[in-house]
Structure 1
């Protein structure tokens, strides 16, 4: 029956296209992680701001992004907002969409970590004469890094998987590449089995690193 046979002969024929799609997925995910960090950290700080408009805007952004499906955001941004702003490069649009989406989740990760830092440590730092900058550098940042790294690493794996949804706007990443190949050779079973394996090649090492961070920083216990 068409599409059921377990046949990977097509891999050799399309190896260059598959490799290009794989690399673009890595590039999209890495760029989105960096930009989403630049978005998420200020938003997390803004959520604790004493300036009410800033706090409300940051809260609204997080709630809107986390409360709506990524697929809806992709369509909304690319076909409405992206068109209005003149963003016609699909790769750039994809990076922006993933960054905005992941930024909301990173903001919550960072905010939760900030709230978990004992206020007594801040008071102790002030008592021994630390300035605000010294308190942030020597007290807040080391704990923030230790508490957010495992979750941020896991978020990177999520970004890798979420990048597959960019195929709906024809970004030629890994999923779209395999879709185009299977539309030609009708080997859907082999094609999508390969696709799952390639995503595992990306996400399993990331999840392993996340577990290592959890153990190192004591989150396993």
Structure 2
């Protein structure tokens, strides 16, 4: 039954390389065919050739998105880690400040936060650099999600390990550095890697305040050429080149660092 093995998982729910590659090609082909059939039904014809003349602007926008995402990742990791620690603080005011921060930013859309923090808070505090403002807004937003990821990693560590650390004379700082942090990194790394893909996609909303990144560049190009569909389809492909490798790496990390309590 060689053909059947190309389409059906075995009893151990495992896939070999050939069936996986074969079915991925089929899935992608079906997706593309459906898209092309929809275009044909509308009688539309796309011409992407005009994008070549904007290749330098697109490269600059692409690089700006990468820089913005990397800077936001570093700052949001710091904010998320501090917020997760503050959430478990014995000082109630600190703990509830962290809880309010997480609930507010996870419970409100980023589009509202972009306008609120740039035009009101940013103006009040003199933050007029749009790139810096974008990094801060994106970092604060993503930091709330990262805080919950790290808090879940902390809560997953059995209390008996902390008791054992105290029993052998480890101080709180040593316990955090030698016992807690290594396990948190292992258990949260796949989720944190996946969050980086979210940071890249969410950075597109910073075009609302005219941060010159990839989405804003495409908006300017489409406005001058009136080729909206071609521009935004190409934009989606550019974002996919960034997020797809991260998604694959996240899958690898999930299988690499899978564990059982």
Specify the TM-score bucket, using the shorter chain as the normaliser. Answer: over 0.9
My pick for the range that moved more, 59-68 or 129-138, is 129-138
What's the CA shift for 1:32? 0.4
- CA deviation map 1:7-32 (0-9, x unaligned): 11122100000000000000110000
Number of residue pairs aligned between Structure 1 and Structure 2: 217
The corresponding residue for 1:125 is 165
Q: What are the within-5 Å matches in structure 2 for residues 186-201 of structure 1? A: 186-201=226-241
Structure 1 segments unaligned to the other structure (5+ residues): none
Distance 2:259 2:189 in 1: 11
Distance 1:98 1:78 in 2: 11
Q: What are the within-5 Å matches in structure 2 for residues 1-221 of structure 1? A: 4-218=44-258
Distance 1:79 1:124 in 2: 51
Equivalent position SS for 1:14: helix
Equivalent position SS for 1:139: helix
The corresponding residue for 2:11 is none
Distance 1:189 1:100 in 2: 32
Distance 1:59 1:15 in 2: 45
Pairwise CA RMSD: 1.3
Distance 1:132 1:91 in 2: 38
Distance 1:86 1:131 in 2: 42
Aligned 8 A contact 1:5 1:189 in 2: no
Aligned 8 A contact 1:5 1:187 in 2: no
Distance 1:170 1:71 in 2: 13
What's the CA shift for 1:172? 1.2
What's the CA shift for 1:219? 5.7
Equivalent position SS for 1:172: coil
Structure number, greater radius of gyration:
2
Equivalent position SS for 1:130: coil
Distance 2:259 2:142 in 1: 23
Task: Tell me: higher relative CO, structure 1 or 2? Use CA pairs within 8 A at least 6 residues apart.
Answer: 1
Structure 2 segments unaligned to the other structure (5+ residues): 1-43
The TM-score normalised by the length of structure 1 is 0.94
- CA deviation map 1:131-180 (0-9, x unaligned): 33332222111110011111111111001000000111111110111111
Distance 2:178 2:120 in 1: 45
What's the CA shift for 1:129? 3.3
Distance 1:127 1:83 in 2: 52
